[in-house]
Amino acid sequence: MGYLRTAREAAPIMAANGWGRIINISGLNARMAGSAIGSIRNVAVAALTKNLADELGPKGINVTVVHPGVTRTEKTAGMFAARAADAGVDPAEMERRAVANVSIGRLVDAAEIADLVAFLASPRSVAINGDAIAAGGGAKGAIHY
């Protein structure tokens, strides 16, 4: 509901200005099975994004959703350490498992997600509206259209 409440407050101001960007951050679980709650939540954010884009696009407001995958942040090392302890393996092994299906062969860094969001927030992103953008380094074998 936070996404919707924020859009409801910001959209009238953006519409009055004739321009704006709403960028929702969701997650790649929108494109994967295995976690019903994670999938449903992320798909709901994508559906909300598309509905808002259709409604607000004529007012000059673009709405997109970014789906980061596992992203290196200040908390990543601790997360891998905790998962490794639970699995009885080395933290480096947990990271290797996490990137096994990432085509770039490494985790995406939070700064790289920020670069994408900065572009989407710019006037140069006018052609992107209502779309979901995966930013997980490329899921091997998957085709999303």
Q: Are 122 and 62 in contact (CB under 8 A)?
A: no
Q: What is the mean pLDDT of residues 82-106?
A: 93
Please give the pLDDT value at position 51: 98
Residues whose CB falls within 8 Å of the CB of residue 136, separated by 6 or more in sequence, listed in order: 28, 67, 68, 69, 70, 71, 102, 108
Per-residue pLDDT at 144 exceeds 90: no
For tokens 């929108």, name the residue.
Answer: 30
Please give the pLDDT value at position 139: 83
Q: Is the dihedral of CA 136, 140, 142, 145 positive or negative?
A: positive
How far, in Å, are 4, 33, 98, 134 from residue 36 at the CA level? 21, 7, 19, 19
Per-residue pLDDT of 30-56, as tens digits, reads 777 778 888 899 999 999 999 999 999
Please give the pLDDT value at position 31: 76
> Rounded to 5 degrees, what angle do the CA atoms 45, 51, 56 make?
120
Domain coordinates in residue numbering, the chain: 2-70+110-135
Per-residue pLDDT at 65 exceeds 80: yes
pTM comes to 0.89
Residues whose CB falls within 8 Å of the CB of residue 141, separated by 6 or more in sequence, listed in order: 101
Q: Are 92 and 83 in contact (CB under 8 A)?
A: no
Please give the pLDDT value at position 39: 86
2-70+110-135 in CATH: which number? 3.40.50.720
Average pLDDT, the chain: 93
